Structure 1
Amino acid sequence: MTAASASSDASAPTKLAGRQLFEKLGKPKTIVAPMVDQSELAWRILSRRHGADLCYTPMFHAKLFGTSERYREEMFGPMDGDQTTDRPLVVQFCANDPDELLAAAKLVEDRCDAVDLNLGCPQGIARKGHYGSFLMEDWDLIHKLINKLHLELKVPVTAKMRVFDDRDKTLEYAKMIINAGAQFLTIHGRTREMKGQQTGLADWEIIKYVRENLPKDTVVFANGNVLYSEDIEKCMEETTTDAVMSAEGNLYNPAIFNKPTDKDVNFPRVDKMLREYFEIVKETPGKASNTAMKSHFFKILHSFLPVETELRAEIGRTSKAGFDVWEKIVQKVEEKVAKIYEDPNVNDEVVIGEEEAWGGAYRTVPYWRCQPYFRRCNGEKANTMVSRQQKEAAEAKKKREAESGDETDKEDKETDTKKAKLE
């Protein structure tokens, strides 16, 4: 038995344990995931307006955060963790050195409710830097990282992990993390290899297995396979977890955490959502991140841009753009959506399809409304339906433009006739 599998040693500073902390934070059910350059303050404010109960910061590099004042100021500004606008908040770090992790965490412990260790990042940069999911085989190091914060930090420590192919190994891994001192455990139901076009479906069964074999007072969040608002309760029921965390689902449709009601609440128009986000960015103190804005614009508009293709290139040229450039883009989106509604026969309905093998049903959503993004799954193109929608939308756009052109031609002919009569 290694140190990693032993229970928490020594006594930690007096602070709330898992279930107590969970209740103090209001028993959050809907959680914004930590996302590099994307779960920044403005996005968290937007997400909270649309039903998010708890937010995580983007993943910060512990060594850089602890040693570079410039990096720290760029990543965590004066309003991050503000008691009135940015709580409850968990700050996430990636690290492979306990002392570096503690030094970074000490700098934020008075401005957050907990500090999270990233054990889930599967990207190549994490492999190179030896952090995230590439620590999964080094249980002793993980134990030291978590236990260091558990024993020496004012606020609780939490962790976000991925699963192994073997559910029993995943359970032992989760137990080690909890025993090291983690008060919340987020389980992403995918393995390290499941990323990009190999993402596939998250395994809710393995999340449920782990949850049911951990102590009952353990707080567990589920992550993966949440496309629609209705999926949140379904995920909690099927995994028996305390809450659901969303990353991509939240990015493509910030209204995913709203209670299921109607299309305007659950699938808001892209022009309205884009305007709301942009106004928050302008009102938020500190320098706005063009990287974050560009990414959010692309994702909010992901179903809109294949139809309104000229906007894609325009957004692509915004790397160093000022607010005036962004404002023009938002206005163009507003004008284009307004043009759609000028058609009295526009089909603005959200249609629920038949139940799929994965247990849910896709929705056919108008391309000018926020909606989930579908990846390829097990070699099958899951976004075939979306492609069809976009094709139909493009054809409808051409028809509108043609009709508009016909009206213009008619007006021109009438004008020419009047001129001829006057002459």
Structure 2
Amino acid sequence: MPRAKRSLAEADLDVQLSTSRKSSKNKAEATRDSRETTITNASSGRNKDDISNEINHSNLGPSSVLTRPTLSTERPLLNTATEPRFILICRPYWDVEAENRDKESEAHDEQHTCGTDCVCKAPANDFPQWTWAVSEEGLHTYELLKKQAFNRDQDAQGLYIYNDFTAYGINEVVDNWLKDFNKTISRRTVSPYAVWAQLEGISMFLQLDYIDIWFHGDDCRGVAETIALVGKALLTSLQVLKDHRLLNSYQPENGGLRNISIVLAMFVEFARSWTDMSGDHYGETKWVSKVGKLAMENSIDIKGPYKFHERNQQILEPEPEKDSTSDGQPKKKKKKIHFSNGTWGLVSFVDADSDDDDIKDNGDYSVRGWKESFKTYAKHHTKGGRKTIGGTSYDITKISKSEKKRFELDGVPSFSF
């Protein structure tokens, strides 16, 4: 039987979001080709019951269009755009599961379902202290990523193609997100809220069981490079928020990004889940300490998941100097594990200094710095004669019925490597 997938919330967030888009008739000629999508606020003058009813019946309405002057490096930009419309979600199953494991208790179905006091889908302003919130556009991004992953899951589709097929498929999903993020961040006028929605969606997706499958694939170096670029995307986004004076802690009375603490926390949890399993062989998670430093400098408390600080204190600590350890001692050469790119994941051991094989980072987290890193990554990660990363090569729904029969699990699968 296909294994159960761990959704963000047990209710599986059945909010059906409208994806309609419209163009601004009053847009200036110079910015006609730089259309940006953002999320509308709830209209004023409606009572709480009306707003809740709209959310429960999926009447979220079309998104509005945001135009903004080109980012200036001289001074921060004033943010005059409409803020995203946030809704609440129930505490995710994976976070409840972490608490149950810690307490050595058994999980019961009733612990993961919405009860009479459920806050799921409620407007975020109704419960200002509730941790788990997401913008409508961020939730839409998450749902699209989850659907892509499902379409590439050979177990869920009742097939067996080869051992790491699904792992490569999940890498393709993350590559598709990186490609979408690159489009969002590269527009002539960058919308901070469109960028934030991208971060929300991927941060939630990176908590699912699909990521464990991805981590267990045989291309350790390739996964590490992808993780490093995800971190680069996060740091670039935080610079965009800073330029628009949005990189600060959320205060109900002052507004801002309602879920900035929890989104940053989920990125940290993702990085730690990788280091817990494989360690950091190529410097792929060095971005975490940079995120921690930025958060501290801007009075943002990264928090939310169960025992977050206790479990992530070490990975958030500042990176030691290049030629010394955390206690100031000179670095010693250490043995590192390299995984082959072959189907069987053969392991070879080499002695090397910890920085000799590190993934290169130019340290430039501007949009220009991002573009350079993305171009380099795409050059080395395109496959099958394609000109860009991502695509649908591992999308099982694209395979013909006759081809699927070769890999069906109802008998002995017929497959070849």
TM-score interval (norm. to shorter): under 0.3
TM value normalised by structure 2: 0.27
Query: Higher strand share goes to which structure?
Result: 1
Larger RCO, structure (CA 8 Å, separation 6 or more): 2
Greater Rg by CA? 1
